[in-house]
Amino acid sequence: MSGENRRREPRRLIGSSEAMMPAGALMTREQCEALVKKIVSFSKADEISVNVNSGYQTDVRFAANQMSTSGAIMTGGIGVQSTIGKKHAVATTNDLSDESLRATVQKSEELARLSPDDPENMPGLPLQTYLPVNGYFESTANLTPDARAQAALTALAPARKAGDLTAAGFIQVNANAGALGNSKGLFAYNRSTNTNYTLTVRTTDGTGSGWAAAEHPDWTKINFAEVADRAITKARLSRNPVAIEPGRYTVILEPQAVGDLVQLIGGSLGARQADEGRSAFAKQGGGNKIGEKIVDERVTIFSDPQDPQLLGQPFDGQGLPLARQVWVEKGVLKQLFYSRFWAQKQGKPVTGGPSTIKMEGGTTSLEDMIKSTERGILVTRLWYLRPVDPRTILFTGLTRDGTFLVENGKISKSVKNFRFNESPLFLLNNLQAMGPPVRLAGTEQGGPIVMPPIKAKDFNFTSLSDAV
């Protein structure tokens, strides 16, 4: 199914309208603003902050060439934080009747009164200005169940027809609208959509597995047939893997594999952790490593809600405006994440807590990386990454769904999966080449992530896995 065809598909307004997004499922800016004002008017605390969320999430799941579970979920609710002096507490509800809202405000006030003082409590923010971001697409918000089932068929049909393949996939389509506000006049509203598609095709002999995926806020930008082609090709190519010795290898990591490891730097970017001496960016003797070169000079990592590949929310969970924020520039640690409290204490500007991350790429295509490699490992993606040593951001994990030996500029054979023990910092110090960055769909932690494919030397594979 091509994008062109999908765009021409008539919207079914009659017949199955009950299975499309129900009217009022997403709250408008005006509705959110009125709700925040109402909740603030119920408050007797020194301060109150309010979070409003509404969403409609639909999904189709298939596996073993069968349809599995599929659903539509209408959610939404509010959370309030009341602050009395230096005491604060949160309470939430999804019953938006006046009676329930009052009760929830009262509950947060009661909890706050009983809580010990929080010496780090920060006053609520006044009204802020945010960058415009349009991450909301009608094409995504107004899908029918038929459209989702048809999309699933783009993988199920060829897999069933082939006879030697089984497909397992998941299509998740979300529309969300939410707002933040407080008694100091803060108000922030954002509306967004997303389509996430992941597909695993396995060969029925149990020796091959291929994974492919796509993600975009706009449903019409997902090329379902192309994803199926990629997963099927990879499944067939990965058949009958051979065992090769674990050890240090040159690796060509597809963007997903890069993102699986590199996004984990985010967990160590807190300035406070570093200043307190318990992160990879703590400096021996005190302080942090801002200004020091930490990785190869070609590496730049940033957050930017307006980047067309990211389209993130332009404010964080506290209402702080988010703009382009460079964390690593040309290999140098430029910035760490400063919460409002820590920024004030250290006399630094606050950064906000972004939900997007992008690593700039280069111009070397994946094909050229393969061509230039005498002996190396091509990796589709990584799996089950868990921290091993926070002092170096060392993680362990495994390769999955398409791992290949490259010899003399060509993919020579499918190889068994490896366990690795590796740090994104070590990886990015051993960089050899980068390609154009793409938006990832397989992130375990969520949030828009854009990463390039890379080639690096001396990747540390420590053992073999029999898993296909």
Partner 1 sequence: MAAAALAAAGAFNPAEAMSGLISVPHGADAMPAEDTVKELMAVAINTARSAGASYSDVRIGRYRNSIVFTRERQIVQTADTDSIGAGIRALVDGTWGFGATKVLTKDGVAAAAREAVAIAKANRIARDQPVVLAPTQAYPNATWKSAFKIDPFTIPIEERADLLLKANAEAMKVKGVRFVNSGLLFIKEDRSFASTEGSVIQQTIVRTAVPFNITAVAPDNSDFQSRTNVVAPAGRGWEYVLEQDLVGNAAKWAGEAVEKLGAKSVDVGRYDLVLHPTHLWLTIHESIAHPTELDRAMGYEANYAGTSFVAPPRDVLGKLKYGPSFMNIQGDRSQPGACATIGYDDEGVKPEEFMIIKDGVVNDYQTTREQANWIKWWYDSKGRPTRSHGCSNADNWSSVQFQRMPNVSLLPGEKDISWDDIISATDRGIAIVGDGSFSIDQQRYNAQFGGQVFYEIKGGKIVGMLKDVAYQMRTPDFWNSMDMIGGKSSYFLGGAFNDGKGQPGQSNAVSHGCVPSRFRNINVINTGRKA
Q: Residues in contact with partner 1, total (CB under 8 A)? A: 147
Work out which of 7, 41, 95, 365 binds partner 1, going by CB under 8 A: 95
Work out which of 2, 41, 115, 344 binds partner 1, going by CB under 8 A: 115
Contacts of 435 (CB under 8 A, 6+ apart): 255, 361, 362, 363, 364, 365, 366, 369, 452, 453, 454
Work out which of 237, 244, 290, 388 binds partner 1, going by CB under 8 A: 388
Q: Which of residues 432-451 bind partner 1 (CB under 8 A)?
A: 443, 445-449
Binding track over 204-233 against partner 1, x by CB under 8 A: -----x-x----------------------
Nearer to partner 1, 34 or 67 (CB): 67
Nearer to partner 1, 70 or 233 (CB): 70
Q: Does 281 bind partner 1 (CB under 8 A)?
A: no
Q: Does 172 bind partner 1 (CB under 8 A)?
A: yes
Helix, strand and coil percent figures for the chain, each rounded to 5: 25, 40, 35
Report the distance separating Cα 368 and Cα 87, nearest Å: 59
Query: CB–CB of 430/456 below 8 Å?
Result: yes
Q: Does 292 bind partner 1 (CB under 8 A)?
A: no
Q: Which of residues 33-92 bind partner 1 (CB under 8 A)?
A: 49, 51, 53-55, 57, 59-81, 88-92
Contacts of 5 (CB under 8 A, 6+ apart): none
Q: Does 409 bind partner 1 (CB under 8 A)?
A: no
| Residue 342 in tokens | 């820590």
Task: Provide the 8-state DSSP code for 10.
Answer: P
Q: Which of residues 355-374 bind partner 1 (CB under 8 A)?
A: 355-357
Binding track over 1-40 against partner 1, x by CB under 8 A: ---------------x-xx--x------------------
Q: Least distance (Å) from partner 1 to the CB of residue 371?
A: 29
Q: Least distance (Å) from partner 1 to the CB of residue 180?
A: 8
- Helix segments in 188-339, DSSP class H: 224-237, 255-262, 271-275
Stretch that binds partner 1, among 126-134, 360-368, 388-396, 405-413 (CB under 8 A): 388-396
Work out which of 376, 397, 452, 453 binds partner 1, going by CB under 8 A: 397
Would you give the distance in Å from CA 41 to the centre of its chain? 36
Pairing between strand 410-414 and 418-422? unpaired
Q: Least distance (Å) from partner 1 to the CB of residue 367?
A: 27
Q: Does 389 bind partner 1 (CB under 8 A)?
A: yes
The helix or strand, by DSSP H or E, that contains position 163, with its residue range, turns out to be none
- Helix segments in 68-184, DSSP class H: 98-114, 138-141, 145-162
- Per DSSP, the three-state class of 407 is strand
Q: Does 200 bind partner 1 (CB under 8 A)?
A: yes
Work out which of 10, 132, 285, 347 binds partner 1, going by CB under 8 A: 285
Closest CA to 54 of 167, 179, 151, 185: 179
Burial of 90 (0-12, 13-18, 19+ CB in 10 A): middle
Work out which of 233, 346, 372, 465 binds partner 1, going by CB under 8 A: 465
C-alpha Rg value of the chain to the nearest Å: 24
Nearer to partner 1, 13 or 67 (CB): 67
Four-CA torsion 18, 21, 24, 28, nearest 10 degrees: -160
Q: Does 158 bind partner 1 (CB under 8 A)?
A: no
Phi, psi at 365, each rounded to 5°: -75, 160
